[in-house]
Amino acid sequence: AQKVTQAQTEISVVEKEDVTLDCVYETRDTTYYLFWYKQPPSGELVFLIRRNSFDEQNEISGRYSWNFQKSTSSFNFTITASQVVDSAVYFCALGLSGTYKYIFGTGTRLKVLA
């Protein structure tokens, strides 16, 4: 089965707290991509990161960081020192080889309170 699980439906934090959004995926493919997108209230998806299955290096971009672990099929996303503008729904997605389709997780709604 090809599946993405985001077990956290909704998270609330106070501004400046760190928060980690979990993503667990399932696939039989050896070549695949993983993505994170942010969806603010406007609805437009904002691309955050792409990772291919052969690159397990963690990545940091400003306050954002990602931890990819193939051993646990996880691709977690951490926001450091959260801000109110980080409030949004965050989706993790799995890109499949061959069809190039994306399978999206159910999303995690993050609320950052001032």
Partner 1 sequence: GAVVSQHPSRVICKSGTSVKIECRSLDFQATTMFWYRQFPKQSLMLMATSNEGSKATYEQGVEKDKFLINHASLTLSTLTVTSAHPEDSSFYICSARAGDLASYEQYFGPGTRLTVT
Tell me which residues touch partner 1 (CB under 8 A).
33, 37, 42-45, 47, 50, 52, 91, 95, 99-107, 109
Nearer to partner 1, 39 or 80 (CB): 39
45 versus 80: smaller Cβ distance to partner 1: 45
CB of 104 to partner 1, least distance (A): 5
Write down the least CB distance from residue 18 to partner 1, Å: 25
Which is closer to partner 1, CB of 13 or CB of 96? 96
Instruction: Report, in Å, the least distance between residue 81 CB and partner 1.
Output: 27
State how far the Cα of 87 lies from the Cα of 38, in Å rounded to an integer.
9
Phi-psi region of 79 (alpha: psi -120 to 50; beta: other; left: phi over 0): beta
CA angle 99–100–101, rounded 5-degree value:
90
Contact 77, 36 (CB under 8 A): yes
Distances in whole angstroms, Cα of residue 74 to Cα of each of 7, 35, 45: 12, 12, 21
Choice between 71 and 99, CB closer to partner 1: 99
